[in-house]
Chains A and B, each alone.
Chain A
Amino acid sequence: DARVTQTPRHKVTEMGQEVTMRCQPILGHNTVFWYRQTMMQGLELLAYFRNRAPLDDSGMPKDRFSAEMPDATLATLKIQPSEPRDSAVYFCASGLLLGVEQFFGPGTRLTVL
């Protein structure tokens, strides 16, 4: 049963700390997306990778957020330093370049105190 996995599922941290979230896309998928979901803003795209290359990270606050794909099986989203306004659920999704569906992982619920 192919699924996108994300770790950790929950993270509580204090303002100013570094947060790293990890995602394992479905094997064979060549596009990876990072989304953030809040009640106020809904589901927003933060970054988009195609064949491990960053294609669009215009949705990310560049000064504190960074996204990478060290290899085809791992995508990371890092926040440094974290702020209370970063509290949200962060979803990773993967898909095929010419495919229809994006498959979402279970999400990481981040709380920054």
Chain B
Amino acid sequence: QKEVEQNSGPLSVPEGAIASLNCTYSDRGSQSFFWYRQYSGKSPELIMFIYSNGDKEDGRFTAQLNKASQYVSLLIRDSQPSDSATYLCAVMGRNAGGTSYGKLTFGQGTILTVHP
């Protein structure tokens, strides 16, 4: 089992719809969870992070975390063609200040296409 798994995709949604991206992780002690966006040929950029169970909203983006189910999701409301990219889920190790702190494990990514 991979440490971080994402829904395989690709995911195609019409403009204005809600895109739902999902991620599960295997290390129950993981503390921090990140969503990166990567446009084709570009480097990853952080769009959301979440530490606590529940929802976190930032503009059109909502991250949801359920530590009991070891599940993280990203919702994109009112999807735009400019949201078309690969979305990477990343999980940070548990030991604050320890050797694993700051170290991210990435999922394979989900390709999202928003069509007009």
A14 to chain B, nearest CB (A): 24
What 1/0 mask marks residues of chain A from 98 to 109 whose CB sits below 8 Å from any chain B CB? 001110111100
Do most interface residues of chain A lie in helix, strand or loop, or is the interface mixed?
A: strand
Task: Give residues 43-58 of A contacting B (CB, 8 Å).
Answer: 43-45, 48, 50, 55-56
Closest residue of B by beta carbon distance from A35:
B106
Residues of A within 8 Å of B99, CB to CB, are 55-56
CA gap between A78 and B104 in the complex, in Å: 22
A57 to chain B, nearest CB (A): 11
Known: A43-B88, A102-B104. A91 touches B43 (CB 8 A): yes
B36 to chain A, nearest CB (A): 8
A104 touches B43 (CB 8 A): yes
Q: Is A61 engaged at the interface, CB distance under 8 Å to the other chain?
A: no
Indicate which residue in A48, A50, A106 contacts B43 across the interface (CB closer than 8 Å). A106
A111 to chain B, nearest CB (A): 15
Give the total of B residues in contact with A, Cβ under 8 Å: 20
Q: With contacts defined as CB atoms under 8 Å apart, how many contacts are there between chain A and chain B in the complex?
A: 44
Q: Is B108 engaged at the interface, CB distance under 8 Å to the other chain?
A: yes
Known: A31-B102, A43-B88, A56-B99. A100 touches B49 (CB 8 A): yes
CA gap between A50 and B32 in the complex, in Å: 19
Which of A42, A44, A95, A105 has the most CB atoms of chain B within a 10 A radius of its CB? Answer: A42
Q: Is B54 engaged at the interface, CB distance under 8 Å to the other chain?
A: no
Give the total of A residues in contact with B, Cβ under 8 Å: 20
Q: Is A97 engaged at the interface, CB distance under 8 Å to the other chain?
A: yes
Indicate which residue in B43, B102, B105 contacts A105 across the interface (CB closer than 8 Å). B43
Q: Is B17 engaged at the interface, CB distance under 8 Å to the other chain?
A: no
A95 touches B102 (CB 8 A): yes
CA gap between A17 and B45 in the complex, in Å: 32
B22 to chain A, nearest CB (A): 16
Measuring CB to CB, which residues of chain A are less than 8 angstroms from any residue of chain B? Answer: 31, 33, 42-45, 48, 50, 55-56, 91, 95, 97, 100-102, 104-107
